[in-house]
Amino acid sequence: MVLVRQEIGDVLRDFRLQKGRTLRQVAGDASVALGYLSEVERGQKEASSEILAAVADALDTPLSVIMSEVSDRLAVIEGLSVPLSGHVPDTVPAELVSGYRSELLAQR
């Protein structure tokens, strides 16, 4: 069973690390107990909507951005999207390929 709290926890931790902030700093800014935030990040506790809003605010990241990232990761787990390669089309328009070939030839 796919659990949303696991992905929310991973995303919150990744955003925190991206911003170079410690668990203690974010917990302090969000007025959340450090142990609680740690459990949320590990997917062991459900974060209430109020806690989520406070942590998003402490991370200076809109909730919509956090939930969008959660959705993207869920899609990968659900097999609806492939990371990275999912953004590359299967076929490349012919004019793009020939243009690229001309460029390669021109570089010789």
Would you say 68 or 102 has its CB closer to a copy of itself? 68
Tell me the closest approach of the beta carbon of residue 79 to a copy of itself, in angstroms. Answer: 9
- Tokens (6 digits) for 64: 């919509």
Tokens 């460029």 belong to which residue? 103
Q: Residues 56, 66: contact at Cβ < 8 Å?
A: yes
- Tokens (6 digits) for 60: 């200076």
Would you say 8 or 27 has its CB closer to a copy of itself? 8
- Tokens (6 digits) for 39: 């459990």
Q: Which residues contribute to the site for a copy of itself (CB under 8 A)?
A: 1-6, 46, 48-50, 52-53, 62-65, 67-68, 70-72, 74-75, 77-78, 80-81
Single-letter residue type at 81: S
Tell me the closest approach of the beta carbon of residue 16 to a copy of itself, in angstroms. Answer: 18
Q: Residues 36, 42: contact at Cβ < 8 Å?
A: no
Would you say 28 or 57 has its CB closer to a copy of itself? 57
